[in-house]
Amino acid sequence: MKPRVVVIGAGVMGASVAYRASLGGASVTVLEAGRIGGGTSSCTFAWTNANEKTPRAYYDLNLAGMKAHAALAEEFGATPWWHGGGSVEWETPDETPALKEKVARLQSWGYAAEWITPRQLLELEPDIDPACIGDAPIAYFPEEGWLDPVVYAGAMLGAARSRGAQVFCATRVSETVVQGSRVVGVKATDGRLFEADVVVNCAGRWVNDPISDAGLHLPMASTVGYLVFTPPVAARVGRVLRTPIIHVRPDGAGRLVCIEPQEAPPEFDPRPSAATEQAREHIRRARALLPVIGDVEPEAARMAIRPIPGDSYSAIGPVPRVDGYYLAITHSGVTMAAFLGAAVADEIVHGRQRAELADFRPGRFFN
């Protein structure tokens, strides 16, 4: 008999789990409160990397995610949602020693990390103003890239549906149904009951909303991200640029997406305006880095709360005290989704324990 799996959330994580679970033979139902990829997946810088990930077990998890994304090219024939080109990075003089230490560590772990000259950088990115670089050492990470999360989530869910999965958008889960010590399904706000042998919560920062029992709530330490998008511009940007001035990457159709190197202020506005001084400052910084973009106004601004568990590391696995309830909550979901989807499906469908997840079990928050 096929296991019945209900996945809460249709972002990059939920879509990945749904696809792999359906491929493994499960009967899968995906419940999404809004639209596909419409939560944090729609407003993320979406840089795929294992660049700043420590300790080693967390680095390995992210690296596995990068490799899993690359492997999808053979499985699907093409990956229009993933864009390579690597990333480049330089820092202020005060931060350069930390960058050198990071590159040395990554190289010792076998990661693709190298130093390039300003001339080599300008061959890669000819529209950067050389004055912004000065004599700073420049690190190049050729295997990194960025993801279009909504396109990715749509592709995974489309593949899941072709294997019998059902996807319900605009369907908010109001309650997780527990009988005795077992989760047996979920109830939507419209009263519909979706029975399940396993409920996989991929709801990101909303992870605790469907759970009335506070004893099953996952502690969160989320941070705020603030993105600003340019209109279509003539800048030739082919990769992720991480600079002391601004972080920039392409976003398709000639647009660029910008994010400050520092954390955004703690205030959260789910619908920020592109007409604010904060958004214009992002564009001014981008223009200082890439003068060719000219005197443009911000086209859009987005804010998101990153779904970060309390100790900043992933929470992947069953929750103690109840059977049939599984969490898949993580920052860096964009990088790791392709791997974690397969790992979670291995556990919930096939009963195979994945050793890679041993350090990231939710039980550490509940014992």
Per-residue pLDDT tens digits of the chain, which is 367 residues long: 789 999 999 999 999 999 999 999 999 999 999 999 999 999 999 999 999 999 999 999 999 999 999 999 999 999 999 999 999 999 999 999 999 999 999 999 999 999 999 999 999 999 999 999 999 999 999 999 999 999 999 999 999 999 999 999 999 999 999 999 999 999 999 999 999 999 999 999 999 999 999 999 999 999 988 999 999 999 999 999 999 999 999 998 999 999 987 665 556 566 778 888 999 999 999 999 999 999 999 999 998 889 999 999 999 999 999 999 999 999 999 999 999 999 999 999 999 999 999 999 999 999 7
Three-state secondary structure of 237-267: CCCEEECCCCEEEECCCCCEEEECCCCCCCC
The pLDDT of residue 275: 85
- Number of residues that make up the chain: 367
The pLDDT of residue 367: 75
Domains of the chain: 4-63+149-221+309-366 (3.50.50.60), 87-142+223-305 (3.30.9.10)
Question: Measured between alpha carbons, how far is 301 from 296 in angstroms, rounded to an integer?
Answer: 14
CA angle 359, 361, 367 (to 5 degrees): 110
Question: Measured between alpha carbons, how far is 40 from 333 in angstroms, rounded to an integer?
Answer: 10
Question: What three-state secondary structure class fits 28?
Answer: strand
- 299 phi and psi, to 5 degrees? -90, -35
Question: 276 vs 249, 270, 281, CA distance in Å?
Answer: 21, 14, 9
The pLDDT of residue 304: 84
pTM across the whole model: 0.96
Question: 363 vs 72, 199, 244, 269, 326, CA distance in Å?
Answer: 31, 16, 38, 32, 11
C-beta separation of 341 from 354 below 8 A: no
Question: Is 260 exposed, middle or buried (CB count within 10 Å of its CB: 0-12, 13-18, 19+)?
Answer: middle
Structural tokens at position 137: 């050492």
Q: What region does 281 belong to: left with phi over 0, alpha with psi -120 to 50, or beta?
A: alpha
Order the strands of the 47-48 sheet from edge to edge: 47-48, 145-147, 82-83
Name the residue with tokens 């973009």. Answer: 293
CA nearest to 309, candidates 342, 332, 281, 287? 332
Burial letters for 264-278: b for 16+ Cβ neighbours within 10 Å, e otherwise? beeeeeeebebeeeb
